[in-house]
C-alpha cells in the first residue's frame, strides 16, 4: 500500500455498493426495494416553502452568514430540551452539537476516538456508511451477529475479553439497518454494563427510532448511562428530509468539545439556513403529527409487504418482522449468494440490496438481502414482491 | 498523550482563537476589524427568497432528498464549464466534486493524503482552519514566510531538499489570508516546477481570487499544471454566501475518486437545496455583475482604510496594500506582541485578529495583526482606524 499516494486506510476503501446499485434504478419500470430513504411524497414541501419564504424575507443575512460550529442556538436549545425529556441529554454531564446529518455525527466521533489499529465492535450486518467511516481512520472491525432481539451479547463479550484494542461498540439500537431489528431492553442494559466493565464507549446511532408503527418504544441506551459511556447520534433525515443534512451528537462534554474542534476544520458549521428550516418546522408545525402520519403509512406498507412475502416467498426464505423503521431483512439458506439473486431480479425489473453490502467482508457471498418498504407504492409492493417470490423460487430450484 | 481517550492529533488541537475573539464582538459599540466574511448587506437576499420559492414550489422533493456524493449534476456541470474556461479543470485528466465549503475541500484532501508524520509546507502566516485540519491528521507543518509577491520560494526549496516527508505545499495564492498578498506569476511557475521536481502536491486554495478591485488577475497555478500536481479548492462562500457551505475541488481523477469515498462517509453529500440555490443564482442572475459590485465596494473600503492608516498609524507600523480580497496585514516592530495590543484596543472598543492566530506556534508572541475591511461601514472605518492608531502609538511608546 505504501506505493499509493493515499493513506493506507483511504486507499483501501470501496465506494458503497448501494450507490452503484442506484445507477441501475433509472431503468424504466424498475420496482426498487433498494432505497434507504423516507418517502419523498411525505416531505412537508408546502411547509418548507412557507418556512423558507419567512426566513429569507425576515432574516436572510442571519441565514446566509457563517454560523457557530456548535450549531444554531435556538435549534440546539430545542434539541437539548427534547433529548432531556428522553433522558439522552443530561445538562450537568453532556453537551450537544449539531452535525451535517447523523453520518457526520458518526464520522466525527470516529475521528476523535480512533487511532489506526483500534477496534470497533459492530453489528453484522450493519450500515456500510458507518463501517466505512471507521475504516477510513484505520479501525479494525469486529462483527457480532444480529439476533431477533438485537446484537449477540455473548459475541460482544468474547471480543471484549480477547481483544485489547476495542475503543467502542457501534450499534443502531432501534429498527436497525439493514435488519429492522430492535435491541431489547434487557440487552441494552447488558451491553451498557459490559461496555462500562471493559472501559469502552458505545456509539448509539438512532436514525429510525421515531418511526415506530407497532409495539412499545424501548429507551435509548444513552438514557440509562450515568457514566458518560454512550455517544448518541440523532438526525432529522428520516423524519423531515434527508437532503437538509441536519443531525446531532449528545455526549460527554469533553467528547463534544473535541468533536467541535474537529467539525470546525471539517466544514466550519452545518448550513444555518438548513438548521433554521428544521427549527421553524419543529416549533411552528405539528412535528409529532407528521411523524405519526409517516409511521402509519410505513406501517401499512410494511404490513402489505410482509403479507405479500408470506404469500409469495418460499418457506426457505425467512425474514424479520419490524415494528418500525423502513427495512426488512431476508435470509436465504446458507451457501446462497444474493448478489447472484440480485442480477436475476434486476432482469425482472425488481431491485433490492444484497447482504454482502452490510458485511465486514464485502467480497464474501451473503445469503441475506434487504428490502425497503418506505418509498414504494402499495401497487408496486404487490407486483414487485410477487415477481421477487418467483425469482427466489427459481434461484433456489436451480442451485 | 496516550492517557487521553482521543487520538494524539485531535487531543492536541486548539479551538480557533478567532472564534474566541468573536465572543467579545457582541459588546455594544465595538468596531470590529476582526471579521473574515463578505459583507452581509451585499448578499443577494431578495434573489435568494425568489430562488427558494421557485425551488420549493417546483422541485421540493428533489431538493430535500438524498443527493449524490459528487454533487448536484447541473451545478457540477456549470462549475466544470467555468473552470475549463480558466484552465483549472481539464476534462481528460481532472474530476470535480462539490464540497461543503472550501473548508471541506481542504479537509478531505488532507484526509486522503496525510499519514501521521507527513509534512505540509504552508505559508506563515496562514489560515488557521487549514493548518488545524492538517494537524488533525497528524501532519508536521513547515512554515515558509510570505513576501510581497507571495511565499518565499527559497524557504520552500530548503524544506523540500532537507525534509523527506513532505506530501504537499498549501497555498492561498491570491489575496492570501491573512496577508492580502497575491503570489506573482513568476513565483507560481517556480513553485509548480519545484513541486514537480520533488514529487509533492500543491493544494491551491482560492476563496478570494474573484474579489479583485485593482491590478491584473494572475492565472491559478492549477491552470499551468499538466502533470496532476495541483489540487484546486474553490468556493461560493466569499462571493455569494458563506452560510450555504458550497465549495468544490478540481483535481486529478484518482484524487477526486478517493475524496468522493471519504466524503461519502463524512456527510454523504452537500445539501441539495443549497447546491440548487447556487445553481439557480449563477445561471439566472447576473453573477458577474454581483461580484463586480462587491469588489468595487470592498475596494472603496480598502482604500479608505489604507488612507486612514496612512494618516493615523505610526511609521513603525507597516502594512500590505492588497489588490483584492478582504484583508490587510500589519507588521509592528520585532519584539512586540499584538495579543497585548488587542487587549488595549478592545478596551477602546476596536477589535482585530492578532498574528499569533495565523502562526504555526500559536503560543509565541507575534508582531503581526490582521484587519478586515469588507464588513465595516466607512464611518466605522474612519473612526476605528483613528482609535487604533492612538492605541498603537501608546503601546509602542510604553514598551
Work out the pLDDT band at B2, boundaries 50, 70, 90.
very low
pLDDT band per the 50, 70, 90 thresholds, residue B73: very high
Q: What is the SS3 assignment for chain B?
A: CCCCCCCHHHHCCCCCHHHHHHHHHHCCCCEECCCCCCCHHHCCHHHHHHHHHHHHHHCHHHHHCCCCCCCCHHHHHHHHHHHHHCCCCCCCCEEEEEECHHHHHHHHHHHHHCCCCCEEEEEECCCHHHHHHHHHCCCEEEEEEEECCEECHHHHHHHHHHCCCEEEEEEECCCCCCCCCCCCHHHHHHHHHHHHHHCCEEEEECCCCCCECCCCCCCCHHHHCCCCCEEEEEECCCCCCHHHCCEEEEEEHHHHHHHHHHHHHHCCCCCHHHHHHHHHHHHHCCHHHHHHHHHHHHHHHHHHHHHHHHHHCCCCCEECCCCECCEEEEECCCCCCHHHHHHHHHHCCEECEEHHHHCCCCCCCCCEEEEECCCCCHHHHHHHHHHHHHHHHHHHHCC
Percentage of chain A beyond pLDDT 90 is 88
Last residue of a domain, one of B260, B284, B308: B284
Is the model more confident about A31 or about A21?
A31
pLDDT recorded at residue B13: 87
pLDDT computed for residue B20 by the predictor = 66
> Nearest residue of B to residue A22 by CA position?
B68
Q: Please give the pLDDT value at position B1.
A: 36
Please indicate, yes or no, whether residues A316 and A278 belong to a single structural domain of this protein.
no
* Overall average pLDDT of the A253-261 stretch: 96
* B57 inside domain: no
Q: Is the separation of the CB atoms in A98 and A79 below 8 Å?
A: yes
What integer is the mean pLDDT of A293-322?
98
Residues A276 and A355 both lie in one domain: no
Task: Determine whether the interchain pair B274/A272 forms a contact, defined as Cβ–Cβ distance below 8 Å.
Answer: no
Q: pLDDT for A202-234, tens place per residue?
A: 999 999 999 999 999 999 999 999 999 999 999
Query: Is residue B56, in this structure, part of any structural domain at all?
Result: no
Q: Is residue B49 part of a domain?
A: no
Looking at residue A27, its pLDDT comes to 79
Q: Is residue A53 part of a domain?
A: no
With an 8 Å Cβ cutoff, are A111 and B10 in contact? yes
Closest CA to A37 of A298, A323, A218: A298
Chain length of chain A = 399
Confirm if A177 and A144 have CB atoms less than 8 A apart. no
Here the CATH number for the domain that contains residue A350 is 3.90.1150.10
pLDDT digits (tens, 9 = 90+) for B211-239: 999 999 999 999 999 999 999 999 999 99
> Is A47's pLDDT higher than 70?
yes
Whether residue B253 sits in one domain with residue B156:
yes
Measured between beta carbons, which residues in chain B are less than 8 angstroms from residue A271? 100, 243-245, 271, 274
User: Quick one: A203 and A337 in the same domain?
Assistant: no
Using the beta-carbon criterion (under 8 Å), do B241 and A65 form an inter-chain contact?
Answer: yes
Other Cβ atoms less than 10 A from the Cβ of A193: the count is 13
Find how far residue A151's CA is from the centre of its chain. 15
Summarised one tens digit per residue, pLDDT across range A332-371 is: 999 999 999 999 999 999 999 999 999 999 889 999 999 9
Give the B window 52-81 contacts with A, CB below 8 Å: 52-53, 56-57, 60-61, 63-69
Residue A76: inside a domain:
yes
Give whole-number Cα distances, B359 to A69, B138, B329, in Å. Answer: 22, 17, 13
Q: What is the mean pLDDT of chain A?
A: 95
The string over B4-40, giving b where at least 16 C-beta atoms fall within 10 Å of a residue's C-beta and e elsewhere, is eebbebbeebeebbbbebbeeeeeeebbbbbbbbbbb
Rounded Cα–Cα distance for residues A36 and B187 (Å): 50
Contact flag B61-A40 (C-beta cutoff 8 Å): yes
Instruction: Return all residues near A185 (Cβ < 8 A) that are at least 6 apart.
Output: A218, A219
Backbone angles phi, psi at B120, to 5 degrees: -130, 125
DSSP A32: E
- Beta carbons within 10 angstroms of residue A37's beta carbon: 16
- Decide if pLDDT at A20 tops 70: no
With respect to residue B214, please indicate whether it lies within any of the assigned structural domains: yes
Identify the band that residue A4 occupies on the pLDDT scale cut at 50, 70 and 90. Answer: confident
Sign of CA dihedral B341, B343, B348, B352: positive
For residue B18, give its domain range: 8-43+291-397
Burial of B51 (0-12, 13-18, 19+ CB in 10 A): buried
d(CA A88, CA A317): 38
* pLDDT tens digits, one per residue of B358-393: 999 988 999 999 999 999 999 999 999 999 999 999
Contact A269 B132 (CB under 8 A): no
Task: Go through chain B and tell me how many residues it has.
Answer: 399
Q: What is the pLDDT of residue A3?
A: 66
Q: Phi and psi (nearest 5°) for B347?
A: -60, -30
| CB atoms inside a 10 Å sphere around CB B78 | 15
Q: Which residues contact B346 (CB under 8 A, 6 or more apart)?
A: B24, B30
Asked if residues A96 and A76 have their Cβ atoms less than 8 Å apart, the reply is: yes
Locate the DSSP E strands across chain A.
Answer: 31-32, 94-99, 119-124, 140-147, 150-151, 166-172, 201-205, 230-235, 247-252, 318-319, 327-331, 350-351, 353-354, 368-372
Planar angle of CA B23, B24, B25, nearest 5 degrees: 95
Q: Which ipTM was obtained for this model?
A: 0.94
The reply to whether A102 falls in a domain is yes
Residue A1 has pLDDT above 50, yes or no: no
CB neighbour list of residue A263: distance below 8 Å, 6 or more residues apart:
A69, A97, A99, A104, A108, A269
Number of domains in chain A: 2
Establish if A52 belongs to a structural domain. no
d(CA B101, CA B162) in angstroms, rounded, equals: 34
- Taking CA atoms, what residue in A is nearest to B56? A49
Do A70 and A31 belong together in one domain? no
What is the Cα–Cα distance from A266 to A269, expressed in whole angstroms? 8
Taking the C-alpha atoms of residue A120 and residue A139, their distance in angstroms, rounded to an integer, is: 7
Check: CB of residue A375 under 8 Å from CB of residue A39: yes
| Residue A395, pLDDT above cutoff 60 | yes
Name the band, by pLDDT with cuts 50, 70 and 90, for residue B34: very high
Confidence of residue A28 (pLDDT cuts 50, 70, 90): confident
| pLDDT per position as a tens digit, A154-198 | 999 999 999 999 999 999 999 999 999 999 999 999 999 999 999
Structure confidence at residue A2 (pLDDT): 46
A101 and A219 together in one domain: yes
Q: Is the dihedral of CA A212, A216, A218, A223 positive or negative?
A: positive
Q: Residue B23: pLDDT above 60?
A: yes
**Contact at CB, B266 and A103, closer than 8 angstroms:** yes
Is A43's CB within 8 Å of B61's CB? yes
* A201, A258 Cβ separation under 8 angstroms: no
Q: At what angle do helices A253-267 and B101-113 cross, to 10 degrees?
A: 100
* CA–CA dist A212, A86 (Å, integer): 16
Subunit contact A112:B7, Cβ cutoff 8 A: yes
Indicate whether B271 and B142 sit together in one domain. yes
pLDDT at B201: 98
Q: What is the arithmetic mean of pLDDT over A70-90?
A: 97
CATH number reported for the structural domain that contains residue A75 in this entry = 3.40.640.10
**Residue that is last in its domain, among A284, A301, A330:** A284
Amino acid A49: pLDDT: 92
Chain A residue with Cα closest to B201: A5
CA of A222 to nearest chain B CA: how many angstroms apart?
19
- Picking from B64, B68, B129, the nearest residue to A244 by CB comes out as B64
Q: How many CB atoms lie within 10 A of CB A186?
A: 12
A111–B contact, CB cutoff 8 A:
yes
pLDDT band at A15 (very low <50, low <70, confident <90, very high): confident
Half-sphere exposure of B25 (CA within 13 A, CB side): 14
Q: Whole-angstrom Cα distance, residue A238 to residue A39?
A: 9
- Does residue B335 contact residue B352 with C-beta atoms inside 8 Å? no
Domain closes at, from A284, A303, A338: A284
The residues near B394 (Cβ < 8 Å, ≥ 6 apart) are: B344
CB A132: neighbour CB atoms within 10 A? Answer: 19
Strands A119-124 and A166-172: parallel
Per mean pLDDT, which range of A96-110, B4-18, B27-41, B330-344 is the poorest? B4-18
- Confidence band, pLDDT 50/70/90 cuts, at residue B19: low
- Indicate if A263 and A341 belong to the same structural domain: no
Say whether pLDDT at B327 is over 80: yes
Residues A255, A387 within the same domain: no
Q: Are residues A354 and A280 in the same domain?
A: no
CB B68 within 8 A of CB A247: no
**Alpha-carbon gap, residue B85 to B76, rounded angstroms:** 14
Same domain, residue pair A279 and A363:
no
Chain A residues close to B261, C-beta within 8 Å: 10, 13-15, 132, 136
Q: Which residues of B touch A245 (CB under 8 A)?
A: 267-271
Say if residue A141's pLDDT is above 70. yes
Q: In the prediction, which pLDDT does B45 show?
A: 87
CA distances from B120 to A1, B136, B169, B252 (A): 21, 12, 6, 19
Cβ separation of A241 and B45 shorter than 8 Å?
Answer: no
Indicate if A112 and A20 belong to the same structural domain. no
pLDDT, residue B3, reads 66
Residue of A nearest to B272 (CA): A243
Amino acid at each position: 500500500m505504501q506505493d499509493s499516494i493515499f493513506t493506507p486506510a483511504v486507499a483501501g476503501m470501496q465506494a458503497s455498493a448501494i450507490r452503484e446499485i442506484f445507477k441501475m434504478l433509472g431503468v424504466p419500470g424498475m420496482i426498487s426495494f433498494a432505497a434507504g430513504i423516507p418517502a419523498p411524497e411525505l416531505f412537508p414541501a408546502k411547509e418548507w416553502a412557507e418556512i423558507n419564504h419567512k426566513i429569507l424575507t425576515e432574516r436572510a443575512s442571519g441565514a446566509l452568514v457563517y454560523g457557530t460550529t456548535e450549531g444554531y442556538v435556538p435549534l440546539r436549545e430545542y434539541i437539548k430540551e427534547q433529548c432531556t425529556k428522553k433522558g439522552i441529554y443530561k445538562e450537568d454531564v453532556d453537551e450537544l452539537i449539531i452535525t451535517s446529518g447523523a453520518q457526520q455525527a458518526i464520522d466525527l466521533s470516529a475521528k476523535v476516538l480512533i487511532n489506526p489499529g483500534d477496534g470497533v465492535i459492530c453489528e453484522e450486518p450493519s450500515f456500510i456508511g458507518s463501517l466505512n467511516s471507521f475504516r477510513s481512520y484505520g479501525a479494525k472491525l469486529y462483527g457480532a451477529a444480529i439476533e431477533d432481539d438485537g446484537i449477540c451479547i455473548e459475541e460482544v463479550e468474547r471480543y471484549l475479553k480477547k481483544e485489547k484494542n476495542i475503543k467502542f461498540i457501534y450499534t443502531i439500537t432501534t429498527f436497525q439497518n439493514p435488519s429492522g431489528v430492535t435491541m431489547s431492553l434487557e440487552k441494552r442494559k447488558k451491553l451498557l454494563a459490559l461496555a462500562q466493565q471493559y472501559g469502552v464507549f458505545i456509539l448509539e446511532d438512532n436514525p429510525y427510532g421515531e418511526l415506530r408503527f407497532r409495539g412499545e418504544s424501548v429507551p435509548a441506551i444513552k438514557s440509562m448511562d450515568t457514566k458518560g459511556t454512550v455517544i448518541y447520534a440523532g438526525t432529522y433525515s428520516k423524519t423531515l428530509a434527508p437532503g437538509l443534512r441536519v443531525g446531532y451528537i449528545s455526549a460527554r462534554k469533553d467528547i463534544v468539545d473535541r468533536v467541535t474542534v474537529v467539525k470546525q476544520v471539517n466544514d466550519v458549521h452545518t448550513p444555518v439556513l438548513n438548521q433554521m428550516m428544521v427549527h421553524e418546522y419543529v416549533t411552528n408545525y405539528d412535528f409529532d403529527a407528521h411523524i405519526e402520519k409517516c409511521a402509519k403509512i410505513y406501517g401499512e406498507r410494511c404490513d402489505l409487504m410482509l403479507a405479500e412475502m408470506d404469500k409469495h416467498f418460499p418457506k426457505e426464505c425467512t425474514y424479520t418482522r419490524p415494528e418500525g423503521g423502513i427495512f426488512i431483512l431476508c435470509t436465504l439458506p446458507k451457501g446462497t449468494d444474493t448478489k447472484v439473486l440480485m442480477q436475476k431480479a434486476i432482469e425482472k425489473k425488481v431491485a433490492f440490496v444484497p447482504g454482502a453490502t452490510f458485511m465486514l467482508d464485502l467480497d464474501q457471498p451473503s445469503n441475506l438481502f434487504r428490502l425497503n418498504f418506505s418509498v414504494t407504492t402499495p401497487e408496486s409492493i404487490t407486483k414487485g414482491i410477487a415477481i421477487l417470490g418467483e425469482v427466489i423460487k427459481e434461484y433456489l430450484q436451480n442451485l
